[in-house]
Structure 1
Amino acid sequence: MTDTVVPAATDAPSTPVPAPPEQPGTAPAPVPAGTETAPARTRRRVRIDHLRRIVVQVRADDGYRVLVRHGAYTLGGARILARRTWDARTTARHERMMRAAEAAGNEELVRQWEQRAYAYRFARHRRRVELLQMAVNAPKAIATGTAAGAGVLLLLGVMLAWANHDVSDVLTPLNATIELVGWAAFIAGVVWEPLLYSLPVLALAGVWAVGRKQHTAPTWALPADAEDRDVVPDEGAIIKALGNLGIAPLNRAIKDGWQPRWVSPTTRSGNGWHTQLQLPMAVPVEMIAAKKTVLAHNLLRKPVEVWPTEPPKQPGVLDLWVADQGSLSGAVPPWPLLTEGTTDYFKGVPVAVSQRGEPIIGQLMASNWMVGGIMGSGKSSLVIALLLGAILDPLVIVEAYVMAYNVDYDPLKPRLRTLIKGDDDEDIEAALKALRNLRDEVTARGKLLEELGGDATKVTREMALRDPRMRPKVVVFDECHELFMHKEYGKEAAELAIKVMKKARKVAITLIWVTVSPTADSLPRDVTRNTSHRVAFAVGDHVANDGLLGSGRHKAGITATTLIPGEDVGTAVTVGFTNKPFEVIRSHYVAREPEKGVDEVTPVVERALALRDGVEPGAESQQQTFDPLADVAAVLGDEPRMLTQEVLHRLAERWPDAYREWGPTDLKAALEPYNAEQYKSGGKSMVSRDRVQDAILDRLAETEDD
């Protein structure tokens, strides 16, 4: 008995295999119901493969693909037009938007769409009532119009007959009108039949054009040499781009007829387009964010121009912003304070423009900054613009500790209180001592805030003007990874940094951390958590990205890993600048290139020095002598007495060069020789006008005697 050979699956019909002869006296073994024998399975597989080849061959046939494509265009266009007509005649669109708003949990938007639906139904009812009233009044209106028209024509005929002295001209206008109607009827009779036959063709052409624009044909039936992609990311382009990401659950949902709920249809937003749509089940936003590069390619954009994220209060919704082609690669507008203007530490300074082209104001008060990225990505440009804005406020004190030999801060040195550069141990120790001093200073400022402010919870500009000890301070730690990773000083530096950051925000102290190596070791996690403004220029991987922007940001699509070093210079992904989950910014560049003869930094620094010294830029400094006794009398004016802090505030405001740094002790030392020093009244330190004036009179008397 030979083995049975099963033929290979080919297009030709298989040769039947003879069954083995039955043994005499034995019955064939019964086959259980529902069980398929091996030969039967083989024959079924052959038939399925054969049918699959036929389908593939038919699909490959150009004529069949053309037929399916244009048929799908026509049917799809008819369906779209029918849906649009239904939406225009009913409240179906309002119902869809209400369901989408309910799914997003936006009750206010639900109420708005309910009001719109009510207004639409009311207007529709009113139109229908007017149509019924018009139908009732139509016979009377037609009769009245006909009679009025005939009367006008007869009146014209009478006037014509009077002019021509011929009675027969009375009916001439009426006869001309009748002939005109006859010609119109003749022309309509000639045109009507061709128009009647062409209407179906025109209707088919119209629905075909709509279907072609909305891409209603299946992908395999489209022409192989034309993708027909649109530059504008409208709803059709977005669905087509999503359908070509290679995400199996999304492809399955689209194949099953998934229709997205557009929470926010595609609208113009700055120099780009914004869309929100609810994704199908089993397709989280993270899947779309992971395919960001492919999505950008499908939308004819660079990866930095496409940002798919999930709104914090709308889970399951894809928030997609697509920039115009090339809008993030052009020139950034000049820094607004380049030639004129001042700033206010408590209001912020301009540092960049957003991806939508809007100005970005960097907050200093109650803020801490963390800036990181690969070398040459633009970190220094942002920090320099931030510091230049800070020093244009004459109250601000700036210190910089650069743990590398970096010349970027040298032009600012005349306006900086401290500039230390280098990565030697003594330089690192100097940065550590600065943190120790800041720890003590935030404590002292907290106590002083309680004394000066009463119920105030944070430092204000008025407090800073009254007391020099409350002047705003900005401290930069560049290449801070050298400090936090130092074997001897790193642990203490991390502890001090966290303590200072938790208290500094209320007492007008701003810390700025800059690093090229944002990792868990170089940036302590608690330092990142307590940072309000986080800036990530081009980074190498998701670890560095989350080290700067926060844990889980890369997975949520908020990532700077798609920024290209050397190409996207000055472009960064930020968190904390606006009320949005993230913001892509392009920092201003204040140029200083001595080899090219360009220096925009030094004039700003000179302007800042002039503001601090109380003179205009370019004016010659004049030697001034100040008389504290006479100056105090001048600020007292007609007031019989005044709080010591108010006297100091007025002195610093009128003569900042002399009295900007003065405190109560300095004032006492100046007035005590004349017995005019401040005294206590009701527990408050006061300055008496009578004492000051008596001291001036005594001094004048002594001068006259001499």
Structure 2
Amino acid sequence: MTETAPEKVNGHVKPQVSLLKFAPEQPPAPAAEQVVEKPAEKPRRRVRIDSLRRVVVETRSNPGYRLAVRHGAYVWGGTRILARRAWDSRTAARYQRMMRIAEAGGNEELVREWEQRLSSYRAARQKRRMEMLQMAINAPKALLTGTAAGAGVLLLLGILIAWNTHDVHDVLAPIEAVVDFVGLVAFVAGVVWNPLLCALPWLALATVWAVGRHQQTAPVWALPVDQVEQGVVPDEGAILRALGNLGIAPLNKAIKEGWQPRWVQPTTRSGNGWHTQLQLPMGVDVEMIADKKRTLAHNLLRKPVEVWPTEPRDQAGVLDLWVADPGVLTKPVPPWPLLTEGTTDFFKGVPVALNARGEQVIGRLMASNYLMAGIMGSGKSSLVVALLLGAMLDPLVEIDVHVLAYNIDYDPMRPRLRSLVKGDEEEHVVAAMDTLRALASEVSRRGQELERIGTETKLTREIAERDPSMRPRIVVFDEVHELFSHPEYGKEAKELALKVTKKARKTGIVLLWITPDADANSLPRGISKTVSHRVAFAINDHQGNDAILGTGMHKNGYSATTLVAGEDVGTAMAAGFGKTPGLIRAYYVRKEAGVDEVTPVVERAVALREGVAPADAPERAERPDPLADVAAVLGDQPRMLTQEVLHRLAERNPGAYREWGPADLKRALEPYGAEPYKSGGKSTVARDRVQDAILERLAEESDEEGADEI
């Protein structure tokens, strides 16, 4: 490095310029290096996120990782399931859960039934605990007593052996033999115990793994590749892609803005399909999804009948999506369970269909009524036939059928029917009206009979068995639109139909209203609100759908408008068979050329019916005469204790007097002045009072007959 001498210019020293700034040791920074680096941080962060996502995807697609996650999920899920089962078996959790489900479904009767079961369970549990405490207290004493008794028996046996062998050492031989046996058992246990102890954790692991594998507790992405074909398993990704291609503007906007759904329930295996629940974004409701059901099914590689988007009753804004396995709902329904053998109980119901998950559906009969509708060729008769054939296998049931058209669906069942009227002429409409009027009177009569019994709130099998006039009845009105739209009888028919439907349930009378139409003219207003079971087969529009299933059902996704008559035969959207509406597939009992499955069932029903006395008509039903019956049980005794009179009345006519108490007897005899009175502090019935009452009644009847003759 050199320095120059200062230079003078006009007597002034020229400023010296240092050459250091031009030295090569400190060259100017390149322009590229002078760029501020802060703006580059965002791209780097995005690169890191993309790299992380790529790592996650590669990791999840790794076979070894998928295998570990899958089997780990099996173990964890199986442990959780078995723990819950154990908890349910040892606590009242199961009863409380079923009560909550029944309460959510509005089934008060089922709630009371589970309350009774819970009370019985708690009483039995308390009894077991007290017995175990008592056992713990008595165990030492019992053990000591048993040991002493056993030792005494062995010692006595040793004495007998020593007496026989003349060897005093044999006195202890039985005790020594027992000690040797105990030692042998201890040795065997010691040999087996260690291997068993080592194997127990592995056995437990295998058990929970098997349970988890059977219940498919592993996430969908971790399943084997051959089980997760592209689009076949509707996992979360497939569902979001399907929803994003429905053409719903608010949903597309939410997805573009980065909407991330909250999965209320991830995709899990459910029966013969997959079930999931997710919270929809703002501005999107379930009705929008349901209206695009065909497109949604197409996006999920399914048919429309295999995809059911609905909204849970207690979760507003949640999409409840059930997707069936491909083709499972188009396969034939299994044979009806009662096709070759078995009987039924009217008060327990009969198998009539399968739900979408492949589970059996029981059609309740007692305290039930049915409304079925669907266009021609949708398969309404398949459900009706299964229901009636099941009811026939209970010998107590009486069945009447009115078909306001000419068809042969019910002809094979004629031998077991009490009556079958079919046709659309004026006389057939009149016959249906006569039956409706008779039903109105029958419902009132049965209600009075149940009220007279007093302790019963509804018909039971015991009452029906002892009183033929109270037998269960099923009355079918098919093509009922012909009756309700009749110019002369339509208005009266609608009024009677509503009246009977509302009051008949507890009296053991079941009504089936069947029609291909579902408009205001063919159905009484409010009929769908009154019946317990509503079944919609293929329907053309959502107004008809809601007329059958109830207002707002189409909006919530419970719609039969996507069903196709002639293709989805026997498939229907139904309400009343469970806590929530759902898809059902009726059993098909065939009656066609070359195949007759109905007649053998009817013949079995007729054979079961033999030996059962036919139900008398209400007008001919015998009524007990308490006054005459009390006189008969008194005989020649001047007086008798009230309890003894009641006992003899129950022996004389169990069907009428089995449930009677002192208040019932007083109520029956008081109008005649022959009621029980106190004698010696005890309630007593006097023969003189009863006989005077009978004579007075006969005199009144004679006076009435004479007045009628005049």
- 2:584 is aligned to 585
Q: 1:640 to 1:547 in 2, by over 3 A?
A: closer
Q: Give the Cα separation in 1 of the matches to 2:511 and 2:404.
A: 15
Q: Give the Cα separation in 1 of the matches to 2:609 and 2:282.
A: 61
Q: 1:429 to 1:282 in 2, by over 3 A?
A: same
- 2:54 is aligned to 77
Q: Give the Cα separation in 1 of the matches to 2:58 and 2:260.
A: 16
Q: 1:566 to 1:649 in 2, by over 3 A?
A: farther
**Kept in 2: contact 1:467–1:649 (CA 8 A):** no
Deviations 1:143-199 (A, max 9, x none): xxxxxxxxxxxxxxxxxxxxxxxxxxxxxxxxxxxxxxxxxxxxxxxxxxxxxxxxx
1:646 correspondence with 2:654: yes
Deviation at 1:229, TM superposition (A): 4.6
Partner-residue secondary structure (3-state), 1:447: helix
**Kept in 2: contact 1:286–1:556 (CA 8 A):** yes
Of residues 476-485 and 602-611 in structure 1, the stretch that sits farther from structure 2 once superposed is 602-611
Q: 1:482 to 1:71 in 2, by over 3 A?
A: farther
1:608 correspondence with 2:605: yes
Partner-residue secondary structure (3-state), 1:319: strand
- 1:264 is aligned to 265
Partner-residue secondary structure (3-state), 2:347: coil
Structure 2 letter corresponding to 1:591? R
Q: 1:371 to 1:649 in 2, by over 3 A?
A: farther
Q: Give the Cα separation in 1 of the matches to 2:653 and 2:302.
A: 60
**Kept in 2: contact 1:466–1:649 (CA 8 A):** no
Partner-residue secondary structure (3-state), 1:330: coil
**Kept in 2: contact 1:467–1:645 (CA 8 A):** no
- 1:520 is aligned to 520
Within 5 Å, give how 1:22-37 maps onto structure 2. none
Deviations 1:600-656 (A, max 9, x none): 1111111111111139xxxxxxxxxxxxxxxxxxxxxxx976444426899xxxxxx
Structure 2 letter corresponding to 1:583? G
Structure 1 letter corresponding to 2:589? V
Which stretches of structure 1, 4 residues or more, deviate above 4 A after TM superposition?
70-75, 78-85, 647-650
- 2:473 is aligned to 473
1:561 correspondence with 2:561: yes
Q: Give the Cα separation in 2 of the matches to 1:303 and 1:649.
A: 59
Q: Give the Cα separation in 1 of the matches to 2:685 and 2:604.
A: 44
Partner-residue secondary structure (3-state), 2:557: coil
Q: Give the Cα separation in 2 of the matches to 1:266 and 1:317.
A: 14
Deviation at 1:74, TM superposition (A): 5.0
- 1:550 is aligned to 550
Q: Which runs of 5+ in 1 are unaligned?
A: 1-69, 89-107, 110-212, 215-227, 616-638, 651-680, 684-706
**Kept in 2: contact 1:398–1:473 (CA 8 A):** yes
Q: Give the Cα separation in 2 of the matches to 1:543 and 1:409.
A: 30
Q: Give the Cα separation in 1 of the matches to 2:48 and 2:609.
A: 76
Partner-residue secondary structure (3-state), 2:372: strand
Partner-residue secondary structure (3-state), 1:233: coil
Q: Give the Cα separation in 2 of the matches to 1:281 and 1:74.
A: 32
Deviations 1:60-91 (A, max 9, x none): xxxxxxxxxx9997553347799999xx9xxx
Deviations 1:292-350 (A, max 9, x none): 11111111001111111110100011100000000000011111111111111110011
Structure 1 letter corresponding to 2:584? I
- 1:282 is aligned to 283
Structure 2 letter corresponding to 1:592? K
- 2:188 is aligned to none
- 1:338 is aligned to 339
Deviation at 1:556, TM superposition (A): 1.7
**Kept in 2: contact 1:348–1:362 (CA 8 A):** yes
Deviations 1:388-416 (A, max 9, x none): 11111111010000000111111111111
Partner-residue secondary structure (3-state), 1:352: strand
Deviations 1:532-571 (A, max 9, x none): 1111111222122112111221122111111111111111
Deviations 1:48-71 (A, max 9, x none): xxxxxxxxxxxxxxxxxxxxxx99
- 1:660 is aligned to none
Q: Give the Cα separation in 2 of the matches to 1:250 and 1:641.
A: 75
Identity %: 63
Structure 1 letter corresponding to 2:611? G
Q: Which runs of 5+ in 2 are unaligned?
A: 1-46, 70-95, 98-220, 223-228, 613-646, 659-683, 687-710
Query: How many residues are matched?
Result: 421
1:306 correspondence with 2:303: no
Q: 1:369 to 1:647 in 2, by over 3 A?
A: closer
**Kept in 1: contact 2:472–2:509 (CA 8 A):** yes
Q: 1:297 to 1:649 in 2, by over 3 A?
A: farther
**Kept in 2: contact 1:546–1:552 (CA 8 A):** yes
Q: Give the Cα separation in 2 of the matches to 1:606 and 1:649.
A: 37
**Kept in 1: contact 2:374–2:515 (CA 8 A):** yes
- 2:111 is aligned to none
Structure 2 letter corresponding to 1:605? V
**Kept in 2: contact 1:466–1:645 (CA 8 A):** no
**RMSD (CA atoms):** 2.9
Q: Give the Cα separation in 2 of the matches to 1:424 and 1:467.
A: 36
